[in-house]
Amino acid sequence: MLDFSSPMHLILIILVIVLLFGGKKIPELMKGIGQGMKEFKKASALNDEPEEKKEPEMKNFDIKVPGKK
């Protein structure tokens, strides 16, 4: 297993990420990850609601057809 207890390991990993993606792409990458997490939390919160709240309310409409009484 990998042991990340040393700060040198973390610095090395961060350096490799910067070299692979470049300094300009990292903020875009983090923004995308943040938006994905936000959507995931929103979707999981919707799944936690009781079933009775999810179903839309049915409304009765009187439809009048011209020419028929």
pLDDT tens-digit series, residues 34-65: 999 999 988 887 776 665 555 566 677 777 77
Residue 60 belongs to a domain: no
Residue 28 belongs to a domain: yes
pTM of the model as a whole: 0.43
Specify the number of domains making up the chain: 1
Domain extent, residue 46, equals 24-50
Residue ranges of the alpha helices (H) in the chain? 7-21, 25-47, 51-54
* CB neighbourhood size of 10 (10 A): 11
Q: With cut-offs at 50, 70 and 90, classify the pLDDT of residue 22.
A: confident
Residue 31 belongs to a domain: yes
Residue 40 belongs to a domain: yes
